Amino acid sequence: MDEKYFAQKIEQKWQRRWAENKTFEAVIDASKEKFYALEMLPYPSGRLHMGHVRNYSIGDALAWYKRLQGFNVLHPIGWDSFGQPAEQAAIKKGVNPRDWTEDNIKQMREQLQRLGLSYDWSREIAAHRPEYYKFDQWFFLKMLELGLAYKKMTKVNWCPKDQTTLSNEQASGGVCWRCGTQVEKKDIAQWFLRITAYAEELLDGMNEIEAGWAERVLTMQKNWIGKSEGATVEFKVQSSKFKAEESGRVETIRIFTTRIDTIYGANAVVVAPVHPVIENNFAQFSDDVKTKIAEIKSQQEKPTDYGEEVEKDGVDTGLKAINPFSAEELPVWVGNYVMMEYGTGAVMSVPAHDERDLEFAKKFGLEVRRVIESAELTEPDSGDFKNSTNSREWFTDYGVLINSGEWSHQTSEEAMREMSEFAEKNNFGEPTVTYRIRDWGISRQRFWGAPIPIVYCADCGTVPVSFDDLPVELPESAPFTGVGESPLAKVPEFVNTFCPKCKQPAKRETDTMDTFVDSSWYYFRYTDPHNKSAPFEPEIAAYWLPVEQYIGGVDHAVMHLLYTRFWTKVMRDLGLVDFDEPIRKLLTQGMVVSESYYSDRRAGYVYSDEVNIERDERGKIVSATLKTDDSPVKVAVEKMSKSKFNGVDPDDMVLIYGADAVRIFALFAAPAENELVWLETGIDGAVRFLQRVWRFVYRWKDALKTASACADASNDGARKLRQKTHQTIKRITENFESYQFNTPVAALMELSNALGDFKVEPEKASESDVFAVREAVESLILMLAPYAPHVSEELWQAVTGNTDGMLASGAKFPVADEDLAKADEIEIPIQVNGKLRSRVLIAPETSKEDLEKMALADAKICEYTSGKEIVKVIIVPNRLVNVVVKG
RNA sequence: GCUUGGGUGGCGGAAUAGGUAGACGCACAGGACUUAAAAUCCUGUGUCCCUUGUGGACGUGCGGGUUCGAUUCCCGCCCUAAGCACCA
């Protein structure tokens, strides 16, 4: 056994041993409490980045801790291996996406193993394998049966030159990212999952998980679902020649509003350019109106960039609609700020009480009529807001109604309730709840995804593939051009099939599923990863699920985490699971960032070794210039990325510092939720710490073998050490229980420093010294294991002589002895009028009376109190004394 | 604009049922060891002031408030990050 710490050597040794012993393979054991620790599965890009390392280090620390606590831990990993990059590689380099993906998985698996993460590799899954995506298809068919999957026409971004659909990002600025052609909107038929059917439940379920999820994530989901309660009101269209002639019925426009109380202030009805009433009456509009409507329509179809303010625009169609409350005749306008996708695609315009309507009214000179007055006014004024005491131009708060017929003098709250009830009673409206969330479109015109198991038959129409014929497998390859429809459509062997119903020749659906489908249920599959006939056995899943702790980036706060909650509710309705929420606790870890250097001269990012950086003695950058020509370089702290040349390769780090040190630093440098600035210098501290522990253990190793079970309390040094040990155990246990991963490292360092201060030579140590040191060392090693498992195993072996590894020997996390942890003397502050003036050493649990006596007798305190009247003395036992004086 | 976080030394960060602010680490400075360097170990390190002390004042974004006592609670601002955004 080597006396020097060589990370590479011991890390390989223990990684091999864990694998041979199947140490981390989880087996159902009903006698033990289970713990499911889960990290978001990676996309196999081929290289691990520091964000992964941080994510998995957190998860592994937790898994180790829970394992040492005696839990039956499930800690799996897999691959989110469908998706665009593989297809891009195929287009650019001509490689087969499957080979590319498998190669990447192999490389990244090795990288993960070099970090010594305690995964159960026997449960590894990959989304691109037929045995996995078979059940994506299975779920799709089940949802079809439940009416939760359906097909509808929808607008997509379309590049007419490349003949392909584009995502919003690819259509940024209204042009195709590849060829720069003007992007069009095109209607194509796509498959949707009815997530809206669960909107209310997804909202309600948040109460259940509130305690374990970061508030910002829940808020983001709430905003995304976007529930808004209001009312629909029907306005009869007066001058419409349409329905009146054809069916004898009067055409109506249904508007949605959250402020029905302001309806007497409406001066117009504004509809989206694609609203049915416009299409129905288009023929009777003047040419000017027609042109304007077409203009607004095409403007709305153009993808807009983030943050872009669009000026209000619109046109009076000449149609008239009747306000059912006031019987007033209002003009019907087309407005560019009204969208068909939200609410009913029509609004009533109330400029006095809505900022957007005001903007619109101002532009077109429409009347602004105030109908709500601030409730704080004792007397409602005339309604002429310019002379009103609360003369803001618009007023969007709740208040009291004025100029509203019989509803005047009611409060907004009363009026909203009663007016929508009134509308319902009289058949021209009803209370309505609207959601922002739309159904989940899962069709992708791509090759590298799970084929949607549907067949189109000339006679039978759209026919689902039979469950027995799953999986619908992807062909070996396809022509990858990046243009045209889905590559699958160009593979005749795939496309041509037979109708499952009538057995006549038919064609397959060539779209594949959104990869968020794969990640919606992957962690259910981990519980039963080799099941051939079902996604998982409900009984097995019932043991392991729900997930106790999920760890991943905030970037998935909405999409993935909402989809998987939806999927769980569907699985519950299918009888596969019996809970509503799959994830009890969610930890969203911060990004890993580092310094990047941008050169204006080179118009791009440059490598760090191309830059000269001067720092002052405090480390602040004084100047940063390009080495080649001394031109200035901008320094920014940004997310690590290849294109910014500021990434750090985890493999290099592991090679230089060892996996244990990298993991300690990743956890110690910042709280898990914070951004982590990766600085090479910081990691030295982790290495130094490990080496100190290592040296100490080897210095004491032989002496410790003689440790007896005797703990003699008369030895002061030993007693102090034991006290520190138990205080540390207590602290670290509390930290882990509250999911703090940075502070335990500090506590371990303190304990290690205490050992360093223990100045007894091992050869001269008394029995109680040896006992105390052994206790401290064993505790230290056990508590270090979640951070630095390799070093811990090695040192554990050195101390105990047990060569199987601490897991195999069933090591347990140390338990703090409260009595030993108690300090035998405490230093408490004495304040005069809240200012610290002196300190005094006391025995714990010293009585209030004694404390007061000690405080008032203190020489320094007397100095401050002499000649003054002591008003009172505040005593917090074991904390402080505060003497309050006057004069 | 709306929503939600967050502002503590040169830096990452500790500490809040209100009770010694700055644990631990980095960086820096001085010292020991060494022919020398590395490594290691020791000491110091919030700011300012003085009579250099078991000294004083100030100090947790800013301004108020509550309290014997506020980084922590309340009110009003400022800055910053993220998400959403013509959502009716």
* pLDDT over 50 at A504, yes or no: yes
- Mean pLDDT value across residues A567-592: 94
- Mean pLDDT value across residues A213-242: 85
Residue A875 CA to B48 C1' — how many Å? 32
Residue A851 CA to B53 C1' — how many Å? 27
Listed residue (A769, A780, A776) closest to A806, CA to CA: A780
* pLDDT over 60 at A598, yes or no: yes
The mean predicted confidence, pLDDT, of chain A is: 86
Residue A674 CA to B79 C1' — how many Å? 19
Nucleotide nearest A676, CA–C1', reads: B12
pLDDT of the residue at A379 = 41
Confidence of residue A887 (pLDDT cuts 50, 70, 90): low
pLDDT of the residue at A832 = 85
- Mean pLDDT value across residues A700-713: 75
pLDDT of the residue at A306 = 47
Burial class (CB in 10 A: 0-12, 13-18, 19+), A582: buried
- Evaluate whether A482 touches A545 at the Cβ level (below 8 Å): no
* pLDDT over 80 at A175, yes or no: no
pLDDT of the residue at A154 = 82
Q: For a pLDDT cut of 90, what percent of chain A falls above it?
A: 49
Residue nearest to nucleotide B23 (CA to C1'): A746
Full DSSP string of A531-552: -SSSSS-HHHHHHHPSEEEEEE
- pLDDT tens by residue, A22-36: 999 999 999 999 999
Residue A214 CA to B14 C1' — how many Å? 22
- Mean pLDDT value across residues A351-364: 87
- Mean pLDDT value across residues A739-747: 94
Confidence of residue A247 (pLDDT cuts 50, 70, 90): low
pLDDT of the residue at A483 = 75
pLDDT top residue among A163 and A498: A498
| Other C-beta atoms lying within 10 Å of the C-beta of residue A836 | 11
- Evaluate whether A592 touches A50 at the Cβ level (below 8 Å): yes
- pLDDT tens by residue, A437-478: 889 989 888 899 999 999 999 999 999 999 999 899 999 888
Give the residue carrying structure tokens 């001058």.
A239
pLDDT of the residue at A241 = 60
Q: For a pLDDT cut of 70, what percent of chain A falls above it?
A: 92
pLDDT top residue among A207 and A545: A545
The residue type of A186 is K
pLDDT of the residue at A199 = 92
Nucleotide nearest A859, CA–C1', reads: B54
pLDDT of the residue at A611 = 78
Contacts (Cβ under 8 Å, ≥6 apart) of A220 = A557, A558
- pLDDT tens by residue, A63-122: 999 999 999 999 999 999 998 889 889 988 889 999 999 999 999 999 999 999 999 999
Confidence of residue A53 (pLDDT cuts 50, 70, 90): very high
- Mean pLDDT value across residues A287-303: 84
Question: How do beta strands A228-237 and A429-434 pair?
Answer: antiparallel
Q: Residue A637 in 3-state DSSP?
A: strand
pLDDT of the residue at A240 = 58
pLDDT of the residue at A393 = 59
Confidence of residue A570 (pLDDT cuts 50, 70, 90): very high
- Mean pLDDT value across residues A192-215: 90
Peptide bond preceding A471: is omega within 30 degrees of 0, i.e. cis?
yes
Which H helix or E strand runs over A856?
Answer: helix A848-857
Chain B positions within 7 A of any protein Cβ atom are 3-5, 10-15, 19-21, 23-29, 39-42, 54, 56-58, 68-70, 82-88
Residue nearest to nucleotide B6 (CA to C1'): A674
pLDDT of the residue at A2 = 47
Q: A379 is written with which tokens?
A: 């007397």
pLDDT of the residue at A458 = 93
Residue A286 CA to B81 C1' — how many Å? 51
- Stretch among A33-47, A264-278, A323-337, A481-495 having the lowest mean pLDDT: A481-495
Give the residue carrying structure tokens 């959250």.
A258
Listed residue (A14, A119, A106, A114) closest to A59, CA to CA: A119
Confidence of residue A248 (pLDDT cuts 50, 70, 90): low
Residue A258 CA to B88 C1' — how many Å? 7
Q: How far is the C-alpha of A578 from the C-alpha of A656, rounded, in Å?
A: 48
pLDDT top residue among A387 and A647: A647
Nucleotide nearest A682, CA–C1', reads: B26
Residue A391 CA to B47 C1' — how many Å? 50
Q: How far is the C-alpha of A798 from the C-alpha of A523, rounded, in Å?
A: 38
- Which value does ipTM take for this structure? 0.94
Confidence of residue A342 (pLDDT cuts 50, 70, 90): confident
Confidence of residue A724 (pLDDT cuts 50, 70, 90): very high
- Mean pLDDT value across residues A859-872: 79
